[in-house]
Amino acid sequence: MIIKENWLLLPEDWDKKEEYTEIIWQNEHLRLERIISSGHISPEGFWYEQDEDEWVLVMAGEGEISWDDGGVSRLKGGESLLIPKKKRHRVSYTSINPPCIWLAVFAANKEG
């Protein structure tokens, strides 16, 4: 299988009301997603606490991850971050112009 796309192009039918997420590839251990955010953030009081490790790369724009301990990680285009499984976090900022384009790799450990 060959996947050839320009992942920086915005989908023509995306109305920007909701965050855009697409699964590029997956198997039982890994999932690769492209996520496009345009001012979208996590709902107030909501925290992700995933059963997977997540590595994110901001390909364009800017995004910010807030941690439950009060820390903040701001990412600009070309910067990446590893979010360990069970680490409570939320998306607290994404740029609008240009939108924040994330590439996310989720890795599940079968042993738990």
User: DSSP characters for 24-79?
Assistant: EEE-SSEEEEEEEESS--PPTT--B--SSEEEEEEEESEEEEEETTS-EEEEETT-
Span 43-57, pLDDT tens digits: 999 999 999 999 999
Establish if 12 belongs to a structural domain.
Answer: no
Domain range enclosing 41: 20-104
Residue 32 belongs to domain with CATH number: 2.60.120.10
Establish if 90 belongs to a structural domain.
Answer: yes
DSSP 90-108: EEEEE-TTTTEEEEEEEE-
Average pLDDT over the chain, rounded to an integer: 94
- pTM for this model (two decimals): 0.91
Give the whole-angstrom CA distance, residue 62 versus residue 65. Answer: 10
Establish if 112 belongs to a structural domain.
Answer: no
Establish if 1 belongs to a structural domain.
Answer: no
How many domains is the chain partitioned into structurally? Answer: 1
DSSP annotation of 18 reads S
Establish if 73 belongs to a structural domain.
Answer: yes
Establish if 8 belongs to a structural domain.
Answer: no
Question: For residue 62, how many C-alpha atoms fall within 13 Å in the half-sphere facing its CB?
Answer: 9
Cβ proximity of 105 and 31 under 8 Å = yes
Residue 92: pLDDT over 90: yes
Establish if 110 belongs to a structural domain.
Answer: no
